[in-house]
């Protein structure tokens, strides 16, 4: 097999988010966040994708998988020891905003929450694992959603600033790699997670959404600036959900449509965060949809001063588009839409599997921005089966990851500057879109099930040993 030349110091590791692993949803004075009020199962997907959710907890109707998650809150030592055994160089995690500011609008941070992440970072340091911290990963305080209307409200910028500065200052000697908002562009399809509000009508897709984005982009720039000031040796990135858009065929109408979808979904936020200004293409879109942003004095300077050092992105799938679609074309399950690509197979949840698309994404992003890239999420959600002897042979996961790692190796040969790879869900956890435990990504199995039962016991899958070899050989042994 061809051997790839990954750079020295490449950050191999795994990625998680606080709300999907920690549990302890009321411990240590933690407040409620969006993920805490999302039920598991079928309801969840509808809530994320459809208008009209009310952000209340209905204890009698639903099961809330994030409340316990996989109990990382109490088991982080055991989990980090397992990551160290695999040889992780980096571990991506997020800080739960509501552990630090339970309601989001307090004036002082919550010491118990701060102390928890001190313990986690110290544990990582013990093994020489670099934390890669997402400041906000789909976990806005519910209070900010209900009382302020999420990111639509300008006041949230200051609340976020207080939160970001509190953690940047506190962990300045422990954390070098940061990212502001997880998959910031995903708010265009899942506004609840990303922007902290639920569409009540089609119209909400335009003016309110982009005003909320303006606030969030300003908040991101403030955090980037603060990070540079407080931690001079740090690197702070944006984090995009990147799914390269292919035209369905060579019909120029479809090519143009695919290009526009790519501009809006893949590049709108990144252009602001990387280049420090709104891209030219968005002006026409704003005009056509009667969007007029309220921009305060100084905002545009802030955007210029708060550009990121690297581009973190998640990659799970590509997307294929044509201008006129029928229901029969639909790529059902491909979470960000598009039409079915006849050349690709899909995961059990309908996500199209496309390793070459990762090489394409890396080339597109590097061509556009010439900044270091970091693949901070990628992986296969699959059902795992425990054999009678308790072992788990997840060869399908190994195949998926191998092909994607090869694609990164090819992109590096293409000239792309790549900092690292933290595959998603290095340990099984709650799925973001389904709220299920049975959609598993991990190298480490967790005995926890969709009905909430299970011992929480951790177990190494076959992929655990495979990934350990990959890291040990710096990507030579695939």
Count of alpha carbons within 13 angstroms of residue 90, beta-carbon side: 24
* Nearer to ligand BGP among residue 338 and residue 381 (C-beta): 381
Contact 408, 315 (CB under 8 A): no
Contact 192, 50 (CB under 8 A): no
Point out the catalytic residue in the list 377, 403, 413, 472. 377
Contacts (Cβ under 8 Å, ≥6 apart) of 401: 378, 379, 380, 423, 463, 466, 467
Q: How far is the CB of 315 from ligand BGP (least distance, A)?
A: 10
Residue 458 pairs with which residues in a beta bridge?
446
* Nearer to ligand BGP among residue 44 and residue 371 (C-beta): 44
Q: Is 48 in the site for ligand BGP (CB under 6 A)?
A: no
Give the Cα separation of 346 and 183 in Å (integer).
22
Residue of 152, 228, 439, 461 interacting with ligand BGP (CB under 6 A):
439
Query: Which range in 71-79, 108-116, 201-209, 425-433 contacts ligand BGP by CB under 6 A?
Result: 425-433
Residue of 180, 198, 266, 314 interacting with ligand BGP (CB under 6 A):
314
Query: Which range in 205-213, 243-251, 428-436, 445-453 contacts ligand BGP by CB under 6 A?
Result: 428-436
Q: Is 366 in the site for ligand BGP (CB under 6 A)?
A: no
The torsion angles phi and psi of 431, rounded to 5 degrees, stand at: -75, 135
Q: Is 258 in the site for ligand BGP (CB under 6 A)?
A: no
Q: Is 182 in the site for ligand BGP (CB under 6 A)?
A: yes
Contact 180, 215 (CB under 8 A): no
Q: Is 22 in the site for ligand BGP (CB under 6 A)?
A: no
Kind and range of the H or E run holding 181: strand 177-181
Q: How far is the CB of 261 from ligand BGP (least distance, A)?
A: 18
Burial of 455 (0-12, 13-18, 19+ CB in 10 A): exposed
Q: How far is the CB of 305 from ligand BGP (least distance, A)?
A: 27
Q: How far apart, in Å, are the Cα atoms of 242 and each of 89, 174, 267, 378, 461?
A: 24, 29, 9, 11, 28
Residue 318's nearest CA partner among 374, 257, 262 is 262
Q: Is 424 in the site for ligand BGP (CB under 6 A)?
A: yes
Tokens matching residue 297: 């004095």
Neighbours of 465 (CB within 10 A): 13
Q: Is 431 in the site for ligand BGP (CB under 6 A)?
A: yes
Q: Is 86 in the site for ligand BGP (CB under 6 A)?
A: no
Q: Is 183 in the site for ligand BGP (CB under 6 A)?
A: yes
Q: Is 190 in the site for ligand BGP (CB under 6 A)?
A: no
Contacts (Cβ under 8 Å, ≥6 apart) of 421: 10, 11, 12, 13, 374, 375, 378, 405, 408
For the chain, what percentages of helix, strand and coil (3-state, to nearest 5) are there? Answer: 45, 15, 40
* Nearer to ligand BGP among residue 217 and residue 432 (C-beta): 432
Interface with ligand BGP: number of residues (CB under 6 A):
13
Any catalytic annotation for residue 377? yes
Residue of 432, 444, 470, 478 interacting with ligand BGP (CB under 6 A):
432
Give the Cα separation of 198 and 196 in Å (integer).
7
Using DSSP, how many helices (H) and how many strands (E) does the chain show? 16, 14
Residue of 17, 35, 373, 416 interacting with ligand BGP (CB under 6 A):
17
Residue of 357, 381, 409, 420 interacting with ligand BGP (CB under 6 A):
381
Query: Which range in 52-60, 77-85, 104-112, 433-441 contacts ligand BGP by CB under 6 A?
Result: 433-441
Q: How far is the CB of 366 from ligand BGP (least distance, A)?
A: 22
Question: Catalytic residue numbers?
Answer: 377
Footprint on this chain of ligand BGP (rule: CB under 6 A): 17, 182-183, 241, 314, 377, 381, 424, 431-434, 439
């Amino acid at each position: 097999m061809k051997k790839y030349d990954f750079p020295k110091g490449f950050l191999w590791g795994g990625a998680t988010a606080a709300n999907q692993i920690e549990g302890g949803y009321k411990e240590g004075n933690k407040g409620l966040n969006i993920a805490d009020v999302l039920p598991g199962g079928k309801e969840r997907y509808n809530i994320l994708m459809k208008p009209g959710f009310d952000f209340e907890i209905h204890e009698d109707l639903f099961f809330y998988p994030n409340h316990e998650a996989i109990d990382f809150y109490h088991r982080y030592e055991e989990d980090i020891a397992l990551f160290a055994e695999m040889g992780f160089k980096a571990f991506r995690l997020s800080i739960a905003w509501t552990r630090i500011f339970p309601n989001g609008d307090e004036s002082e941070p919550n010491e118990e929450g701060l102390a928890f992440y001190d313990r986690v970072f110290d544990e990582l340091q013990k093994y020489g694992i670099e934390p890669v911290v997402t400041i906000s990963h789909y976990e806005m305080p519910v209070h900010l959603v209900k009382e302020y209307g999420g990111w639509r409200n300008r006041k949230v910028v200051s609340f976020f600033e207080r939160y970001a500065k509190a953690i940047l200052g506190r962990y300045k000697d422990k954390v070098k790699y940061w990212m502001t908002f997880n998959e910031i562009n995903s708010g265009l399809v899942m506004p609840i997670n990303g922007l902290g509000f639920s569409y009540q009508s089609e119209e909400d897709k335009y003016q309110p959404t982009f005003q909320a984005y303006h606030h969030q982009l300003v908040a991101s720039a403030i955090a980037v600036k603060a990070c540079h000031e407080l931690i001079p040796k740090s690197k702070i990135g944006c984090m995009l959900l990147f799914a390269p858009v292919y035209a369905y065929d060579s019909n120029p109408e479809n090519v143009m449509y695919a290009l526009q979808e790519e501009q809006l979904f893949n590049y709108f936020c990144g252009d602001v965060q990387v280049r420090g200004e709104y891209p030219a293409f968005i002006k026409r879109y704003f005009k056509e949809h009667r969007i007029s942003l309220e921009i305060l004095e100084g905002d545009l300077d802030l955007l210029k001063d708060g550009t990121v050092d690297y581009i973190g992105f998640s990659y799970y799938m590509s997307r294929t588009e044509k201008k006129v679609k029928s229901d029969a074309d639909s790529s059902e399950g491909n979470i960000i839409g598009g039409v079915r690509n006849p050349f690709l197979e899909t995961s059990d949840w309908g996500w199209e599997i496309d390793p070459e698309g990762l090489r394409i994404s890396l080339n597109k992003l590097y061509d556009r921005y010439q900044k270091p890239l970091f693949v901070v999420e990628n992986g296969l959600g699959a059902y795992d089966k425990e054999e009678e002897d308790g072992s788990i042979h997840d060869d399908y996961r190994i195949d998926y990851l191998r092909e994607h790692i090869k694609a990164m190796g090819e992109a590096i040969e293409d000239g792309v500057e790549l900092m690292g790879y933290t595959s998603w869900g290095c340990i099984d956890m709650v799925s973001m879109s389904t709220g299920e435990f049975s959609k598993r990504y991990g190298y480490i199995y967790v005995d926890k099930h969709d009905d909430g039962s299970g011992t929480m016991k951790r177990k190494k899958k076959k992929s655990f040993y495979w990934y350990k070899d990959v890291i040990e050989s710096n990507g030579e042994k695939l």
